[in-house]
Structure 1
Amino acid sequence: MGEMGCGFGLVIRDTQGCVERSGVKQVRERWCPDIAEAMAAEFGLITARHMGLQQVILESDCLALITMLRLKSFPANYFGRVGKVVFDLASSFSSVIFSFTRRDGNVVAHEMAHLLPLDFSTRFWVGSFPERVAPFVELDSANLI
């Protein structure tokens, strides 16, 4: 039986919707979906900060996360603590928009999160994405319009 773990996928696009960077961070821990989404948001913002970006749109298909960040209302639990970390990271940018997107508008990041092999590492693709994800990039781009 294979090891269990959790993956956080990210896609960073330019203003025209072209993929500038994609990535996955795979860890041995398992979290409920809301916490995993918050940790993926943290991974995305840390990556954007390392890239020197100043204006970002943080998209997530986790309505609870986006609502928490927009309302600046952090529950006294682990989800709230991770959300507060994400909110604090967001303050290091000149502009951050917290945007809810349906799962069908977040397919590339979702597929990145489930990328195989599960090797408990962090991997990036600059200006591209893994071949396995290629069919979903076009689908995501169509949803940006």
Structure 2
Amino acid sequence: MERAGRGILARSNNGSVVSAWVGAEQNCSDPIVEEASAIRRALVKAKLKGWNRIEIQCDCKVVVDKIMEENNQDARIGTIVEDIMNMKEDFCTCSFSFREREGNYVSHELAKFALNLVTDIQWKDSVPAWLTSLARRHMGAVAPIL
């Protein structure tokens, strides 16, 4: 049975890591569905944190384009895109941008790490040293997302 890992990294305006989440799904579906679901999950987490200005970066151009076009006609992700558009209204500022895999490296590495997990992990007050170091090394590759 295939698994899909997800990694969500939240940075402050100055680029420092403020929170991170990792987890895996047992029944891996279409990668586009997994990416759209990860964005929806990131919005839920940001809302629960009380953040009101966010930027979501994703390395799946198809999903970002569907969100930007507000196109929920895709049978695979239409409902998820509709959820994302509805949740977007909960924030003062909420934007979405496409980043090449190299620019989204830390989230990708977190997703790979998640494949070995039995349960989800959330780091909120204290982020592990390896994650802080990884994020610091790749800080120039992405814009802050808070």
Q: TM-score, normalised by structure 2?
A: 0.86
Q: Which residue does 2:16 correspond to in 1?
A: 18
User: How does 1:134-145 map onto structure 2 within 5 Å?
Assistant: 134-144=132-142
Amino acid at match of 2:97: S
Question: Cα RMSD between the aligned structures?
Answer: 2.0
For residue 113 of structure 2, give the secondary structure of its aligned residue in structure 1: coil
Q: Which residue does 2:104 correspond to in 1?
A: 106
User: How does 1:5-84 map onto structure 2 within 5 Å?
Assistant: 5-84=3-82
Unaligned runs of 5+ in 1: none
Unaligned runs of 5+ in 2: none
Give the Cα–Cα distance (whole angstroms) in 1 for the partners of residues 130 and 113 of structure 2.
Answer: 8
Give the Cα–Cα distance (whole angstroms) in 2 for the partners of residues 33 and 131 of structure 1.
Answer: 29
Query: Compared with structure 1, are the counterparts of its residues 76 and 116 closer, same or farther at alpha carbon in structure 2 (3 Å cutoff)?
Result: closer
Deviations along 1:20-75, one digit per CA (max 9) or x if unpaired, are 00111212120222111111111111111111000100110111111111111112
Amino acid at match of 1:142: G
Identity %: 21
Q: TM-score, normalised by structure 1?
A: 0.87
Give the Cα–Cα distance (whole angstroms) in 2 for the partners of residues 125 and 79 of structure 1.
Answer: 28
Q: How many residues align?
A: 143
